[in-house]
Amino acid sequence: MIRSYFGLTENPFALRHIELLPAQQEIHDTLRVHCQQGGLCLVVGRPGTGKSVIKESLRRLPEKEHLVATIARTLHTYTNTVKILCEAFGVEFESSAFKCERKLIQQAFSLNHAGKMLVTIIDDAHLMEMENLRKLRLLLEDFPKNHNLILIGQVELLASLDLAVNLDLKSRVTYSVVTKRLHDDVMREFIHRELDRIGLAHSTFTSAAIGLIIRSADGVLRRCRNLCLSSMLEAVRASAGQTIDIDLVNRVLLQPHWQNEVDLTDF
């Protein structure tokens, strides 16, 4: 709908096409170094602060040089987690996790000898049972030493690792970073960069509209992206032309999920 209305060939603000901002690029580059040297890395932050963008950038690493396995269903049992790894590593799943572990280790060394760097990403790692994470870490301990395990989750993950019972995991962390809220000028750069990518003028969003979007997003990248998309959809719905002004953004902000609890007390 948006593409047809604005005459675009690509979806605006699509996650897999979003370019890394400077701070995200620095995190990405550091994680790649740990892929070469081996490590256990933590990328934590509040929801919407850019963790998914960093994850997608890692998943787009050249397949000739990297094998990136992503475990997104962290509420699974350890056996189901091993199933996901088997699929990623091209290993046929046996009847139990124990029987698969040796095959996974052998395949990991085979891929490593072929020149591939191995990366396992656990998304929403704060939801994973620590005992399952511990079993997974023990399995990956037998992988080639340049294998990198990356845990992506909310800041609660740090609190879990601080517990005495989990210090064996925390002591193996080689790199950790917190994704923080973005400054206003970085948010503006993000919007302009996305407009450049899809071939729309910066004036598609008026300066007042961009200012309101930035203030409402409060430094959270996901909120900025969603508000831009919702404003474009509102322009399509209202047939309001191809310029997003402050009135269109305000219409979106009237939706309950954008309002604070104090604003909803009359409902």
pLDDT of residue 204: 95
Give backbone dihedrals phi and psi of 42, rounded to 5 degrees, phi first.
-120, 130
Give the C-alpha separation, 267 to 262, whole Å: 10
Q: Could you give the count of Cα atoms lying within 13 Å of 223 in the half-sphere of its Cβ?
A: 20
What single letter denotes the amino acid at residue 254?
L
Residue whose entry in the numeric block shows the structure tokens 């399995």: 139
Give the C-alpha separation, 30 to 76, whole Å: 29
Q: How many helices (H) and strands (E) are present in the chain, helices listed first?
A: 12, 5
Q: Could you give the count of Cα atoms lying within 13 Å of 173 in the half-sphere of its Cβ?
A: 19
pTM: 0.86
Strands 175-179 and 148-153: unpaired
- Residue 209 near residue 22 (C-beta atoms within 8 A): no
Rg (CA), the chain: 22
- CATH class of the 22-179 domain in this structure: alpha beta
For the beta sheet containing 39-45, the strands, ordered from the edge strand earlier in sequence to the opposite edge, are 66-71, 117-122, 148-153, 39-45, 175-179
Say whether domain 182-254 belongs to CATH 1.10.8.60: yes
Q: Mean pLDDT in runs of 10 for the chain (267 residues)?
A: 90 85 94 91 94 93 92 80 90 85 93 92 91 91 92 94 92 95 94 94 96 95 94 91 93 88 52
Cβ-in-10-Å burial (0-12, 13-18, 19+) of 10 comes to exposed
- Domain boundaries, given as residue ranges, for the chain: 22-179, 182-254
pLDDT of residue 265: 54
